[in-house]
């Protein structure tokens, strides 16, 4: 089934040590002694704390195909686009014509094998079975032919399909009509010769046998001539897609244009999202993590789930999420990006194909609601304990000993000691106000 990612940001979680934001006792004392108007505060929250990773991705279908017109034009004809019924964003149905080049169609049929050869009488194989199943699905069965073989019934079904689209099929042999006429004449001559020997008096049994054999060979030759005059399927006139409806991704030419090598790009399969991960980010991502998807062009948001990650060597794995670090610990050293596949929880609009999106991946989350404060609210007391300073409505300050827990998105989980009290809505000091004396030192 993707994709250019231009940047990423680790906003919390793995690798961001609490020691980088814990203030020294001197800093805490200076802030505790500052006037109320000189400090910044934040509310203690009671919520689920999440640590997330933000990367960019692109909406794409599972598979894309190019429609080529390089060999589609009849011999001696200039490859011009003579019909272009589809536009970018249109849906493609099974059995529909994608484009017409020099009067010849290119149509789409269901199947997983690509069209790699022309199919005609005497052809055998899985691709013949695929064609017969596709035609039967359109209402043109060929049950009289042996399994996996292109016989007279398959040819008749193919001819009927072409005519349902408004086209004459390509004959196996360009002189097929002349061959049929000559074979018919030979059959007529053999029939008359047999009639003559059967009517002879006295009747010669050996002559009758030879006449019957000649007539049989003439009829076999007529059947073969009819096959040569009948329909074949040029590989240039069909595109097999494994899923329908498909979508038109781009159209490179309009009616009257000289057909370029690739006249159209189409995609099939469900829409997904592909992002790119640096080696350190790769280690933080695990299959099954929740993702918030933002389509920045439209402002639409969706939920999704992380899936497989394809490493730079092409191997596909389901990440274990053993923790990434901002300083690149665990990098492979080559800087190669891994491809992350994200599955949206809801069906995406086809108009989003090719659009860049922002992916916020939930690396980890607390088990239920916890007390949460900003990183900058946590400091170190003189005795080495970790504290937050609560500012009461009357301006009084009190230090609350806490045990730090999960970190994420600029915040940290704190659990007060049994002897201290800390509740949602309490205001904790997070720093100096801009312009204060200490803040300008």
Q: Is the peptide bond before 412 cis (omega within 30 degrees of 0)?
A: no
Average pLDDT score over the chain: 81
Strands (E), 278-419: 290-295, 300-310, 316-317, 338-344, 356-365, 370-374, 378-380, 386-391, 397-408, 411-416
pLDDT band at residue 22 under the 50/70/90 scheme: low
Phi, psi (degrees; rounded to nearest 5) at 237: -110, 10
Cα–Cα dist 109/98, whole Å: 11
Categorize the per-residue pLDDT at 2 as very low, low, confident or very high, splitting at 50, 70 and 90: very low
Quick one: pLDDT at residue 209? 82
pLDDT of residue 71: 52
The residue that leads in pLDDT, 314 or 112, is 112
Cα maximum dimension of the chain: 139
Residue 176 has pLDDT above 60, yes or no: no
How far is the CA of 438 from the CAs of 34, 35, 41, 60, 431, in angstroms?
9, 11, 16, 52, 10
Position 54 pLDDT exceeds 60: yes
- pLDDT tops 80 at residue 322: no
> What is the spatial distance between Cα 7 and Cα 195, in angstroms, rounded to a whole number?
87
Asked whether residue 30 carries a pLDDT value surpassing 60, the answer given is: no
Contact between 385 and 402 (Cβ < 8 Å): no
Give every CB contact of residue 250 below 8 A, 6+ residues apart in sequence.
88, 264, 265
pLDDT score recorded for residue 314: 56
Higher pLDDT, 183 or 238: 238
Question: Residue 45 above 90 pLDDT?
Answer: yes
Instruction: Name the packing angle between helices 205-229 and 176-199 (round to 10°).
Output: 170
pLDDT at residue 323 is higher than 70: no
> Does the pLDDT at position 249 exceed 50?
yes
Q: In terms of CATH architecture, what is 8-49+368-440?
A: Beta Barrel (2.40)
Q: Residue 57 has which token pair?
A: 């991705």
The CA-based angle 163-167-172, given to 5 degrees, is 90
Please determine, for residue 18, whether its predicted confidence score (pLDDT) is greater than 50.
no
Domain segments of the chain: what residues? Answer: 8-49+368-440, 176-229
Check: CB of residue 255 under 8 Å from CB of residue 331: no
pLDDT digits (tens, 9 = 90+) for 119-159: 999 899 999 999 999 999 999 999 999 999 999 999 999 99
Q: Do 5 and 337 form a contact (C-beta atoms < 8 A)?
A: yes
pTM score, whole prediction: 0.57
Q: Are 153 and 174 in contact (CB under 8 A)?
A: no
Reported residue count of the chain is: 441
Name the band, by pLDDT with cuts 50, 70 and 90, for residue 429: very high
- Residue 261 pLDDT exceeds 80: no
Q: Which letter, b or e, does each residue of 219-253 get, where b requires 16 or more Cβ atoms within 10 Å of its Cβ?
A: eebbeebbbbbbbbbbbbbbbbbebbebbbbbbbb
pLDDT, greater one: 312 or 315: 312
**pLDDT at residue 373 above 50?**
yes
Q: What confidence category does residue 328 fall into, taking pLDDT thresholds of 50, 70 and 90? A: very low
Give pLDDT, residue 309.
Answer: 87
Task: Find the Cα–Cα–Cα–Cα dihedral 164, 170, 176, 177, rounded to 10°.
Answer: 40
CB of 390 closer than 8 Å to CB of 402: no
Please tell me what DSSP assigns to residue 36. Answer: G
pLDDT at 401: 96
Strands 238-241 and 104-110: parallel
pLDDT digits over 391-411, tens only? Answer: 999 999 999 999 999 998 899
Chain centre to alpha carbon of residue 160: 34
Region of poorest pLDDT, from 61-70, 100-109, 351-360: 61-70
pLDDT in tens, 179-188: 667 767 877 8
What is the H or E stretch that residue 269 is in? strand 262-277
């Amino acid at each position: 089934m993707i994709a250019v990612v231009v940047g990423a940001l680790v906003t919390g979680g793995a690798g961001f040590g609490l020691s980088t934001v814990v203030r020294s006792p001197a800093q805490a004392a200076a802030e505790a002694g500052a006037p109320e108007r000189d400090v910044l505060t934040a509310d203690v929250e009671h919520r689920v704390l999440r640590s997330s990773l933000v990367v960019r991705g692109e909406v794409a279908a599972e598979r894309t195909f190019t429609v080529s017109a390089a060999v589609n034009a009849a011999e001696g004809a200039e490859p011009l686009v003579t019909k272009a019924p589809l536009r970018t964003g249109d849906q493609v149905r099974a059995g529909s014509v994608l484009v017409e080049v020099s009067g010849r169609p290119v149509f789409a049929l269901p199947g997983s094998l690509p069209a790699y050869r022309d199919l005609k009488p005497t052809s055998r194989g899985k691709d013949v079975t695929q064609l017969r199943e596709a035609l039967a699905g359109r209402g043109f069965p060929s049950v009289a032919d042996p399994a996996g073989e292109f016989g007279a019934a398959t040819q008749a079904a193919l001819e009927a399909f072409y005519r349902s689209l408004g086209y004459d099929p390509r004959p196996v042999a360009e002189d097929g009509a002349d061959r049929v006429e000559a074979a018919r004449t030979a059959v007529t001559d053999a029939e008359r010769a047999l009639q003559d020997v059967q009517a002879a008096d006295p009747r010669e049994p050996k002559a009758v046998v030879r006449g019957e054999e000649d007539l049989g060979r003439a009829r076999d030759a007529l059947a073969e001539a009819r096959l040569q005059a009948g329909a074949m399927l040029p590989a240039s006139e069909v595109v097999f897609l494994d899923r329908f409806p498909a979508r038109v991704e781009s159209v490179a030419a309009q009616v009257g244009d000289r057909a370029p090598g690739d006249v159209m790009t189409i995609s099939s399969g469900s829409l997904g999202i592909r992002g790119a991960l640096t080696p350190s980010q790769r280690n933080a991502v695990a299959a099954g993590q929740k993702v918030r998807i933002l389509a920045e062009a439209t402002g639409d948001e969706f939920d999704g789930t992380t899936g497989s990650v394809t490493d730079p060597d092409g191997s596909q794995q389901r990440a274990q999420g053993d923790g990434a670090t901002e300083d690149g610990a665990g990098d492979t050293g080559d800087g190669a990006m891994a491809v992350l596949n994200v599955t949206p929880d809801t069906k995406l609009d086809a108009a989003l194909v090719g659009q860049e999106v922002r992916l916020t991946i939930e690396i980890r989350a607390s088990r239920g609601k916890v007390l949460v404060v900003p990183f900058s609210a946590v400091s170190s007391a003189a005795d080495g304990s970790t504290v937050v300073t609560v500012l009461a409505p009357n301006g009084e300050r009190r230090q609350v000993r806490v045990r730090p827990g999960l970190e994420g998105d600029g915040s940290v989980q704190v659990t007060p000691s049994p002897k201290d009290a800390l509740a949602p809505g309490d205001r904790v000091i997070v720093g100096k106000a801009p312009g204060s004396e200490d803040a300008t030192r």
